[in-house]
Each structure stands twice: as structure tokens, then as C-alpha cells.
Amino acid sequence: MVTLVRYTYPSGPFQDSRFAGRLGVDVGIHSGAVAMTQRRGNRTKAVLPVRVKGKDSTGKAFEELAHTLDVTTDGARLGSIRRELNVLDEVTIFFRQRKMQYRVVWVKKMKGTSEYQIGLEALAQDKEPWGLSSQQQASSTARLSLSPGIA
């Protein structure tokens, strides 16, 4: 069972207050008409099992299991990555019966572990790549109906 909670993180993967609530990447990199430092949609906290396939920072091919931490319609944040990746590397994400192509937009080494978190941007726009829209609506409706004092 997946529990979805809509939440905007105060600082994302960065602790620098200049990037509060935004994904802070080199300002010179743009995707379409939107600068990479501008969020295009809300993140949904969702821990989903995925398989990641690509090449690590040394150029060696890999395929490993990981999980999402939060997702959007055009990106994701993954945890439990055990390979160092480079920004702008392309990876393939397998989720359920879906196969999706992403570009790495940031990499963060986790303290005290050999794991990384990575930020991904979709290379092709899919209306609902994670298949969560119907679950989100049902979860939001259930939460509102169970909340006392909300009319």
C-alpha cells in the first residue's frame, strides 16, 4: 500500500536558504522555457520501488534496485542509490510495467553511508508517469472527509 502526502519541502536536497523550496541547480542550465531553479509542479511524497539502469560516474553499466522519495509528473527524487552518478547522466527507471527515461539534475552523497540521493528530470513528458493521480484524489478526498471541523 502506498500512502501519498502532498508536501512542499522547505529546502529540498540543499540546506542553503537561497534555494528554499526550490531545486537549486546551476542557473545556466535551462529546460525548455523554465529555469531549473523554478519548480514546475508540486512534489508528492511517495516511496515506490524502482529499478535503475544506466552508467555510473566511471562509465560502468549498472542496474540496481532503489526507491523514490518524492515524485512529480516531470521528475523524481530517488534514494538508496549505491553508485555515484554525474549530473546530466541519463538513466532508465523501471516502475511496474513502465520504462521511463530521466536525466540526473543533482547528486547528494548521504553522510555516514555509501548511498546517494539523486534528483531526476524526465526526458519525455508523460501525463502521469507514476500512475498516482487516481490514488492522490482518493487519498485527498478520504483525508478531507475524515478531518473534523472541515466544512
Give me the pLDDT at residue 49, please.
Answer: 97
Which fold, 45-146?
Thrombin, subunit H (2.40.10)
CA distance to 43, 44, 104, 109, 114, per residue, from 27 (Å): 21, 24, 15, 21, 29
Question: Which DSSP letter does residue 42 get?
Answer: -
Backbone angles phi, psi at 19, to 5 degrees: -105, 20
Of the candidates 31, 21, 9, the one whose C-alpha atom is nearest the C-alpha of residue 88 is 31
Q: What's the rounded Cα separation, in Å, for the pair 151 and 144? A: 9
Per-position pLDDT tens, the chain of length 151: 555 555 544 444 544 444 444 443 433 334 444 455 566 678 999 999 999 999 999 999 999 999 999 999 999 999 999 999 999 999 999 999 999 999 999 999 999 999 999 999 999 987 788 988 755 544 543 443 444 554 4
- Is 0.75 topped by the overall pTM? no
